[in-house]
Chain A
Amino acid sequence: MIHSLFLINCSGDIFLEKHWKSVVSQSVCDYFFEAQEKAADVENVPPVISTPHHYLISIYRDKLFFVSVIQTEVPPLFVIEFLHRVADTFQDYFGECSEAAIKDNVVIVYELLEEMLDNGFPLATESNILKELIKPPTILRSVVNSITGSSNVGDTLPTGQLSNIPWRRAGVKYTNNEAYFDVVEEIDAIIDKSGSTVFAEIQGVIDACIKLSGMPDLSLSFMNPRLLDDVSFHPCIRFKRWESERVLSFIPPDGNFRLISYRVSSQNLVAIPVYVKHNISFKENSSCGRFDITIGPKQNMGKTIEGITVTVHMPKVVLNMNLTPTQGSYTFDPVTKVLAWDVGKITPQKLPSLKGLVNLQSGAPKPEENPSLNIQFKIQQLAISGLKVNRLDMYGEKYKPFKGVKYVTKAGKFQVRT
């Protein structure tokens, strides 16, 4: 099981270590640094590294490396999932998962880690339970604590810890009872040079924000549940009910959580809301090239496409770019060679475009590879798959909650090859 954890920042400092069994020397991280050096890019560090006596399993999150040390055969996914859970918890407690936040709250971090894992076995990883055991820091609480001398640590057993619904605590009370659902869909797509779709799928999630008193039992039904054939559920969902009736029935955790995530694959046609016309060319034996891209709406279901940005990793030989956008603004970083164009909204009357000249290193051969365009956008009030919530019913409690559903479609990994 998980032996130790080291937190390492981008400059290679180990700024936190925690051991659940015996102490493992920091020097074990040298193997990690070696791999990091070889990988050149931080994102390319392999997640599983073997050393003579240990295995290092790491994740890279928010510019930090979470490196765990294990000694026996352990499912690596288990470790990786756990590390992400640790990072999620930090995020949840401190608002951000950064070196500064962790150092500022080092004692809470230590208490949390101790609570989350015992002898390498996960103990409590549900945010509801952890918050009952260890209160998150707030300015008010730290002031109160310093006056009264009370502590951040709960001294009763969390109620959810052993019930059949470990994700919910007892005795929740709100004056305003609300249940909100966000249906967020991201389109992952690869579009080839000619504009046809090589690959497209929709990654959807339904995130919930539930503030309901007592023990509410909810059922959420859809207009078209058949769209959901590949779904991952939060443990609170009753699987049998879904299998038989295609209804999500659950006693929700308190607060924010991800209810389901789903995938609508390329077999069902995925609508592509934008198209890009592009003309990027480099002349042979000359130190300049042309760059011209135009974005337009395609299958946008009549909604406005907004928040468009285009990012392009230009080839190494590009020195500078001299472009004119018809709308929005662009930047080009000559060090990383990243061109970023913040477009904004598309107005169909006048399609946004960005054109101009590319300066190349003189004498260098013309670049072989053509850059891919990475596109971001957002469409409010639309789930591109067509998924629609039918109704939400609540049982088990008497009050009438306020309910709401919001839809949004975004670009996920949306790439256009040129």
Chain B
Amino acid sequence: MTDSKYFTTTKKGEIFELKAELNSDKKEKKKEAVKKVIASMTVGKDVSALFPDVVNCMQTDNLELKKLVYLYLMNYAKSQPDMAIMAVNTFVKDCEDPNPLIRALAVRTMGCIRVDKITEYLCEPLRKCLKDEDPYVRKTAAVCVAKLHDINAQLVEDQGFLDTLKDLISDSNPMVVANAVAALSEIAESHPSSNLLDLNPQSINKLLTALNECTEWGQIFILDCLANYMPKDDREAQSICERVTPRLSHANSAVVLSAVKVLMKFMEMLSKDLDYYGTLLKKLAPPLVTLLSAEPELQYVALRNINLIVQKRPEILKHEMKVFFVKYNDPIYVKLEKLDIMIRLASQANIAQVLAELKEYATEVDVDFVRKAVRAIGRCAIKVEQSAERCVSTLLDLIQTKVNYVVQEAIVVIKDIFRKYPNKYESVIATLCENLDSLDEPEARAAMIWIVGEYAERIDNADELLESFLEGFHDESTQVQLQLLTAIVKLFLKKPTETQELVQQVLSLATQDSDNPDLRDRGYIYWRLLSTDPVAAKEVVLAEKPLISEETDLIEPTLLDELICYIGTLASVYHKPPSAFVEGGRGVVHKSLPPRTASSESTESPETAPAGAPSGDQPDVIPAQGDLLGDLLNLDLGPPVSGPPLAASSVQMGAVDLLGGGLDSLIGDTNFGAPPAAVTTAATPARLGAPISSGLSDLFDLTSGVGTLSGSYVAPKAVWLPAIKAKGLEISGTFTRQVGSISMDLQLTNKALQVMTDFAIQFNRNSFGLAPAAPLQVHAPLSPNQTVELSLPLNTVGSVMKMEPLNNLQVAVKNNIDVFYFSTLYPLHVLFVEDGKMDRQMFLATWKDIPNENEAQFQIRDCPLNTEAASNKLQSSNIFTVAKRSVEGQDMLYQSLKLTNGIWVLAELRIQPGNPSMTLSLKCRAPEVSQHVYQAYETILKN
């Protein structure tokens, strides 16, 4: 006889029949009936109508029947709260039962009944059970606190259960400790601010002791909890690591990964010179590899985490490349992850093996996998320079297979290789061109067009090739259209005589026949560029492009550091911080890796010093955001915007002229042809209608000119030179900045008895090269007791010498009596320039790029401004808000400013409504300015 009989139904109606059986006198029949009810429940049938009948069976000595009834109650109590009350008495009674199993069962079940009225009755029994003599009951009760907290958090706090739970961390039984930790962690998750898990060296010691003795699941809870602890120095970190290391040999992969998390995090505090550091690195590799021999689901999660670990500490797995080789019957999700890690581990030493494998994969059946394998070959070429040649020839071999999707994928990656190694592999272009007709995917077509445009001068029939694409221009995707437009303009600039018609055709297609604003904008820009100043056009369009690098597909360092703290969690699977996806965003605390401690710092050489910071040695590389390939195609317009040649070659021309001449110089006497009237109106935004003095630079720099008219904050004049020190001459003054020019406002008072004449002023060399832009002009002699106010314009082209303090300015003033010296401190904000607003992407990239040591944090107290007001105030002093974000009731302003000498300062200003203190974090490549920028902030905000 099996339980499947419970699923058979009769014609009369199941519920009716069950009801009769439940009320039967025979114990055995009752039990069978309850089993039938449970069976229906397991398949999701609604048997809640039987509630009173089932609850009637609760008073029984038979433990199995009792458990079954409890099972039922847990499922349906919520739908029948009034009836559920009937069960309370039995629960309370059971909590007093001499058998610990029954006591525990009662308290456990009561916690699962999510009915308010019942929870009231739960408190007393729970309190008793938390102090029960039997550890089994205590550990069950610990979990029950978490359940109760979920139902009624206030009640748990009022009843003091949290404190009891904290006491259980010191319990003598390791299982109780583990459950208490688990319960506290769950409660803490919904109360991010409370420091429930207040870890100190003593409690850590208790946890580490319990760690050795509790069950595997308990070990996971304890390890996850340990990972949140911040050891006070490297010695403590090392001793914790030593005690956690044995967990790496556990059979349960979740224990292993949680242990890896603790070690990865605390390792951050250990000095790299330490022997133990090396030992630890060696110990980490085998368990990670072992995870890959587990079931595919476990492998997947392990691989996602390994992906993070190899980015953070590539040395751990650098010799283990082979375990990531793909087996043909791995599930696709495992294959793709393995491939990604293979690329990350690829180096000169193993590149031959990797390439051989990738080539093998490129002939597999699974299309997605094959594509990714081909792309991986391209990534290898970009990552390992020595292998580039071999990668290119592998790709050419693959193109020879003529398998359509392989060819297309190969062309896309070859374009990237060209971007990394310009003018090196152009010999393959001919082969690529042969496959032109087979390309049907937009990305591949766009890549091919880019190649043709970029190397137009070396491809004899480039014009024919591009023309062939032009026929179906409107059926192409935007990506291809944009690329085609750019490519033809490039071609035209390279071979102006033959392709004039073509370029006109594409310009009119893009600007007149297209509905796509991006395409039209790009079309107009080219059009105007070509017609205004072809030389400049050449410099813009054919400018040297920044190289791409493999860094682009790495996770950026701050996020990586945060994710390392989340190893083993969902965040590590998604490679996003929990704040990005945890529902409601509640309970999210940002975690960060611990900094290296002072005791170890002294021993470090400068190369190894920056712990979590990126190494700043990638000057010729743009760390592009997001998808590498998506960005590539749009890059060709970006870089030249700020290029100096533009400004130099600017032409003074009216709006009408813009569209007419100019080109003649390029194409001789052939007439370029006036663009249609529609263009004139559409192409010329209102503010460009006026004659443009600065020519092309304005065209691009649409954001400039928003410069503030009100000017920066001006401090009241202060006495710089008292009369007694200067034989009667008193000088007070201040610094101002207005519409881009700095001046020193002076007030000279003659307190002597004689007339003063022949004034002159000179500055000593200073940090920012401030110097008078004009001589000090005091027109009339200054008679006794007379005061004159004047403004001395300054520039920043004087000679530079670093001063201490940085903003110290030494001034010499001469008059007919003597020479006087004084020094003053100028507020740094007069040096904040008007174009100090950084582009968002740029801001993000720069912020990450600046090492963490350069970050400085300051408090601005007693400044009760709201976000809006603060932002406006700062803006008028040329501190620009790049982005604004609200996190947990706090406003974060991300701001940028630029000093006259081109130093950028990035700031994060945190404002909490209602709190008069603000927190300012500054990042700058020249950290010494931070202090002064902070002072400037304070001055601006408080006035």
Enumerate chain A interface residues (CB-CB to B < 8 A). 1, 14-23, 26, 39, 41, 43-44, 46-48, 50, 53, 55, 58-60, 71-78, 80-82, 84, 103-111, 114, 118-119, 121-122, 125-126, 142, 146, 149, 151-157, 161-162, 164, 166, 188, 190, 192, 198-199, 201, 203, 229-235, 239-240, 243, 258, 261, 263, 265-266, 313, 315-316, 368-370, 372, 374, 413, 415, 417
B251 in contact with A77 (CB, 8 Å):
no
Which residues in B have their C-beta under 8 angstroms from that of A315? 365
Residue in A18, A157, A239 whose CB lies within 8 Å of B101: A157
Q: Mark B788-810, 1 if CB is under 8 A from A, else 0.
A: 00000000000000000000000
Residue in B101, B322, B331, B583 whose CB lies within 8 Å of A156: B101
Enumerate chain B interface residues (CB-CB to A < 8 A). 1-4, 6-7, 27-28, 31, 35, 38-39, 42-44, 62-65, 67-68, 71, 75, 78, 99-101, 108, 111-112, 114, 134-136, 139-140, 143-144, 146-147, 150, 173-175, 179, 182-183, 186, 189, 213, 215-217, 220, 224, 246, 249-254, 256-258, 286-287, 289-290, 293, 295-298, 300-302, 320, 322-323, 325, 327-329, 331-333, 353, 356-357, 360, 363-365, 401, 403, 568-571, 573-574, 578, 581-583
A75 in contact with B257 (CB, 8 Å):
yes
B136 in contact with A372 (CB, 8 Å):
no
**How far is B899's CA from A23's CA once the two chains are assembled, in angstroms?**
60
Output the least CB separation between B351 and chain A (Å).
15
A80 in contact with B62 (CB, 8 Å):
no
A-B contact pairs, 11 of them (CB 8 A): A44-B332, A48-B570, A48-B573, A73-B569, A74-B570, A104-B2, A104-B4, A106-B3, A121-B182, A122-B217, A370-B363
Output the least CB separation between B39 and chain A (Å).
5
B570 in contact with A55 (CB, 8 Å):
yes
Nearest residue (CB) in B for A100 is B4
A151 in contact with B42 (CB, 8 Å):
no
A162 in contact with B136 (CB, 8 Å):
yes
Which residues in B have their C-beta under 8 angstroms from that of A114? 67, 71
A76 in contact with B569 (CB, 8 Å):
yes
Nearest residue (CB) in A for B583 is A53
Nearest residue (CB) in B for A39 is B332
Known contacts A22-B78, A75-B224, A235-B216; 15 further A-B pairs (Cβ under 8 A): A47-B297, A58-B297, A73-B582, A75-B254, A75-B570, A104-B3, A106-B38, A111-B71, A114-B71, A121-B217, A152-B64, A203-B293, A230-B287, A233-B249, A369-B364
B290 in contact with A263 (CB, 8 Å):
yes
Output the least CB separation between A191 and chain B (Å).
12
Which residues in B have their C-beta under 8 angstroms from that of A16? 42-43
B573 in contact with A14 (CB, 8 Å):
no
Residue in A41, A106, A164, A235 whose CB lies within 8 Å of B250: A235
B75 in contact with A23 (CB, 8 Å):
yes
A17 in contact with B42 (CB, 8 Å):
yes
Residue in B43, B114, B365 whose CB lies within 8 Å of A369: B365
Residue in A1, A15, A77, A108 whose CB lies within 8 Å of B186: A1
Which residues in B have their C-beta under 8 angstroms from that of A233? 249-251
B333 in contact with A263 (CB, 8 Å):
no
Answer whether A368 and B401 are a contact pair too, CB < 8 Å, given A108-B3, A118-B108, A119-B112: yes
Which residues in B have their C-beta under 8 angstroms from that of A48? 300-301, 570, 573
Which residues in A have their C-beta under 8 angstroms from that of B323? 199, 201, 265
Residue in A39, A110, A122 whose CB lies within 8 Å of B215: A122
Which residues in A have their C-beta under 8 angstroms from that of B71? 110-111, 114
For the complex of A and B, 7 pairs with smallest distance between CB atoms:
A104-B2, A151-B64, A230-B286, A153-B64, A47-B297, A77-B254, A122-B217
Which residues in A have their C-beta under 8 angstroms from that of B249? 231-233, 239
A77 in contact with B253 (CB, 8 Å):
yes
A47 in contact with B258 (CB, 8 Å):
no
A230 in contact with B289 (CB, 8 Å):
yes
B179 in contact with A121 (CB, 8 Å):
yes
**How far is B173's CA from A279's CA once the two chains are assembled, in angstroms?**
65
**How far is B568's CA from A15's CA once the two chains are assembled, in angstroms?**
30
Which residues in A have their C-beta under 8 angstroms from that of B2? 103-105
Q: Is the interface of A mostly helix, strand, loop or mixed?
A: mixed
Nearest residue (CB) in B for A315 is B365
**How far is B214's CA from A125's CA once the two chains are assembled, in angstroms?**
13
**How far is B298's CA from A48's CA once the two chains are assembled, in angstroms?**
11
A266 in contact with B322 (CB, 8 Å):
yes
**How far is B287's CA from A368's CA once the two chains are assembled, in angstroms?**
38
**How far is B293's CA from A230's CA once the two chains are assembled, in angstroms?**
12
A166 in contact with B215 (CB, 8 Å):
yes
**How far is B446's CA from A288's CA once the two chains are assembled, in angstroms?**
39
A17 in contact with B363 (CB, 8 Å):
no
B301 in contact with A76 (CB, 8 Å):
yes
Nearest residue (CB) in B for A186 is B293
Which residues in B have their C-beta under 8 angstroms from that of A58? 297
**How far is B578's CA from A55's CA once the two chains are assembled, in angstroms?**
13
B189 in contact with A73 (CB, 8 Å):
yes
Nearest residue (CB) in A for B357 is A198
**How far is B4's CA from A372's CA once the two chains are assembled, in angstroms?**
44
Which residues in B have their C-beta under 8 angstroms from that of A156? 99, 101
Which residues in A have their C-beta under 8 angstroms from that of B43? 14-17
Output the least CB separation between B104 and chain A (Å).
8
Nearest residue (CB) in B for A166 is B215
B569 in contact with A75 (CB, 8 Å):
yes
Which residues in A have their C-beta under 8 angstroms from that of B364? 369
A44 in contact with B101 (CB, 8 Å):
no
**How far is B573's CA from A75's CA once the two chains are assembled, in angstroms?**
10
Output the least CB separation between A117 and chain B (Å).
10
Output the least CB separation between A335 and chain B (Å).
16
B570 in contact with A263 (CB, 8 Å):
no
Answer whether A106 and B258 are a contact pair too, CB < 8 Å, given A73-B569, A370-B363: no
B325 in contact with A198 (CB, 8 Å):
yes
B327 in contact with A75 (CB, 8 Å):
no
Answer whether A75 and B44 are a contact pair too, CB < 8 Å, given A107-B39, A118-B143, A413-B329: no
Which residues in B have their C-beta under 8 angstroms from that of A1? 186
Answer whether A106 and B42 are a contact pair too, CB < 8 Å, given A77-B254, A372-B328: yes
**How far is B574's CA from A417's CA once the two chains are assembled, in angstroms?**
33
Output the least CB separation between B575 and chain A (Å).
12
B146 in contact with A119 (CB, 8 Å):
yes
Output the least CB separation between B147 and chain A (Å).
5
**How far is B216's CA from A126's CA once the two chains are assembled, in angstroms?**
10
Which residues in A have their C-beta under 8 angstroms from that of B6? 106-107
Which residues in A have their C-beta under 8 angstroms from that of B175? 162, 166
Answer whether A417 and B360 are a contact pair too, CB < 8 Å, given A55-B570, A77-B301, A151-B63: yes
Output the least CB separation between B209 and chain A (Å).
12
Which residues in B have their C-beta under 8 angstroms from that of A155? 63, 99, 101
Which residues in B have their C-beta under 8 angstroms from that of A82? 217
Output the least CB separation between B852 and chain A (Å).
26
**How far is B323's CA from A313's CA once the two chains are assembled, in angstroms?**
23
**How far is B40's CA from A16's CA once the two chains are assembled, in angstroms?**
10
Which residues in B have their C-beta under 8 angstroms from that of A20? 112
| Residue of B251, B257, B302 ringed by the most chain A CB atoms within 10 A | B251
Answer whether A232 and B250 are a contact pair too, CB < 8 Å, given A118-B140, A121-B217: yes
B325 in contact with A107 (CB, 8 Å):
no
Which residues in A have their C-beta under 8 angstroms from that of B136? 157, 161-162
Nearest residue (CB) in A for B300 is A47
Output the least CB separation between A34 and chain B (Å).
15
Answer whether A59 and B250 are a contact pair too, CB < 8 Å, given A106-B39, A155-B99: no
Which residues in B have their C-beta under 8 angstroms from that of A415? 327-329
B3 in contact with A107 (CB, 8 Å):
yes
Residue in B253, B286, B332, B365 whose CB lies within 8 Å of A81: B253
B333 in contact with A230 (CB, 8 Å):
no
Nearest residue (CB) in B for A103 is B4
**How far is B360's CA from A192's CA once the two chains are assembled, in angstroms?**
9
**How far is B359's CA from A192's CA once the two chains are assembled, in angstroms?**
12
A46 in contact with B300 (CB, 8 Å):
yes
B296 in contact with A43 (CB, 8 Å):
yes
Which residues in A have their C-beta under 8 angstroms from that of B332? 39, 41, 44
Which residues in A have their C-beta under 8 angstroms from that of B302? 77
